[in-house]
Structure 1
């Protein structure tokens, strides 16, 4: 899969909250990829097939399939089924999730290596899979064993750091949350229910500390500085500028996550500003 098939901007939404009609509009608006969030399992990937069937050129990608919940052999079977029906339009994003949410959690790096080994054995090509990655070691694994890295809940500074680790020729597709509202207090209040949860997950907290956020910033529900780092808010023009900052810092693609019950109004507003 070539990077340009994803386009510069895509849309990140929970996999169980996307309709075929929404997918069609996402494509018509010019977004290149639709990222299925909230850990779809192998049985849930019928959602990807339905969205691919409803669109013509849109890439559908997982962000991410959780390696603790979905055996690699079963995921590979689904990958090959989707690939046969929709050649070149599905990207398998995998990740290790969070120790707080997985009772069987063990050393994630070793488990990811084993998972990639199983995907290799099952014939899932390196260039058709990507890895959720935050820290340097897992970013290097994404570079060496997949198309590239899928960072989540990161500031622009992380994008620059990740690009330095990945080097050229490795995909860097960064998720970023958005709230179009020029009242900063109201925007942060809108973001809180969908964002403060992550402050209870150690991998995100540890990563954000690397980029200057303090324990005070990262104490629930999160400081203004935290929200300003991980949520693009303000006027539509200001939001678009923050998203472009990831590209300028080295991202190939930005996956936009509107923090609203209906994502389409924000996506419609942003689309002409992101051309």
Structure 2
């Protein structure tokens, strides 16, 4: 097996995509200088898409954001990790999480379930240094610090990142997700991002986390207030988006992963190129 270094190098900025991402897009993301490609909602416990994307690239880290613990047996995921790590140990970060109570009937005692899942990964030889945990609240953030290499908060603000760094301490990696729309007009930006925001406002773990950050019922009504939209979905020109992404790094993140929201008929690559240039990424 490839020797595993202590810390995985995610780079400063990554890209968050759905798990159906094509290898061709991964190759371009790597060429543009993004350090990590995060795959959302991975439903195949054999992780075939992870292996496919790693095989197609040379330096890019692939991270799962996330593998759901209720629908992906830990033993099978561990076998998949070992298979992939034989050739790509320092380019694969296994992110796991409990998801949402609205999404699965098995959602019972999630904190204990996360611990039990990590126990199996321990037993099956998945290194702590190659594990990440989806984490929002203080308790799960502390669990991420104790039992994994990284916390991956989703749908958060730089203020959450600042608070999370305080909870995690200096050691664990902190890799928040940030949604962006490359559009300077808020009305047009909301036309792109409203459906996504509304979906998350129906999930109580996200709403509870947003309440901790100071948002209230007026922000959650009618698909979300402008204040909430502006905080959770950055919009503007490439320079403004780059500034918003860097705000997470300044607040204590080691890495920030951007989720580009766009219409289904839009090619995302031009936007990734513009953002890479604005961020000063080392295009290859």
TM-score range with shorter-chain normalisation? over 0.9
Matched, 1:27 2:27: no
Match in the other structure for 1:146? 148
Match in the other structure for 1:108? 110
Match in the other structure for 1:164? 166
Structure 2 distance, partners of 1:87, 1:154, is 29
Structure 1 distance, partners of 2:23, 2:176, is 24
Aligned residues: 273
Match in the other structure for 2:41? 38
Match in the other structure for 2:269? 264
Structure 1 distance, partners of 2:124, 2:219, is 44
* 1:80-139 Cα shifts (integer Å, max 9, x gaps): 000012231111000000010011110110000111111000010001000000000000
Structure 2 distance, partners of 1:108, 1:62, is 19
Structure 1 distance, partners of 2:44, 2:8, is 27
Matched, 1:8 2:6: no
Alignment of 1:1-275 (within 5 A): 5-16=9-20, 18-43=21-46, 45-260=47-262, 261=264, 262-275=267-280
Structure 1 distance, partners of 2:97, 2:190, is 28
Give ranges in structure 1 of 5+ residues lacking alignment.
none
Give the TM-score normalised by structure 2: 0.94
Q: Which moved more, 1:188-197 or 1:93-102?
A: 188-197
Q: Which moved more, 1:188-197 or 1:89-98?
A: 188-197
* 1:136-194 Cα shifts (integer Å, max 9, x gaps): 00000000000010000001110000000001011000000110111011112211122
- Change over 3 Å in CA distance of 1:78–1:115 after alignment to 2: same
Q: Which moved more, 1:208-217 or 1:198-207?
A: 208-217
- Pairwise CA distance, 1:239: 0.7
* 1:187-221 Cα shifts (integer Å, max 9, x gaps): 12211122210000000000001111111111241
Structure 2 distance, partners of 1:2, 1:263, is 34
Runs of at least 4 residues off by over 6 Å: none
Task: Choose between structure 1 and 2: higher helix proportion.
Answer: 1
CA contact (8 A) 1:9 1:31 kept: yes
Structure 2 distance, partners of 1:42, 1:4, is 22
- Pairwise CA distance, 1:232: 1.1
Structure 2 distance, partners of 1:142, 1:175, is 16
Give the TM-score normalised by structure 1: 0.97
CA contact (8 A) 2:8 2:91 kept: no
Give ranges in structure 2 of 5+ residues lacking alignment.
none
Structure 1 counterpart SS, 2:102: helix
CA contact (8 A) 2:175 2:254 kept: yes
